[in-house]
Amino acid sequence: MCERLSEIDFLYYDEPEPIEDHLWAFIERSVDDIHLH
């Protein structure tokens, strides 16, 4: 499990664009489907 998570960490840190941009874009596209309880 730790090995797989390490692979994901490397993918995250190698991403040239800020991950926040992708997150906000996802939220904006999905705003009608996101429900906080």
Distance, in Å, from the CA atom of 36 to the CA atom of 30, rounded to the nearest integer, reads 13
Structure tokens at 22: 């992708």
DSSP letter for 1, please. Answer: -
Residue 8 has what pLDDT?
Answer: 86
- CA distances to 14, 20, 23, 29 from 10, in Å: 6, 17, 18, 27
Are 12 and 19 contacting, i.e. CB atoms less than 8 angstroms apart? yes
Query: Which pLDDT tens digit goes with each residue over 1-37?
Result: 888 888 888 887 887 877 888 889 999 999 899 888 8
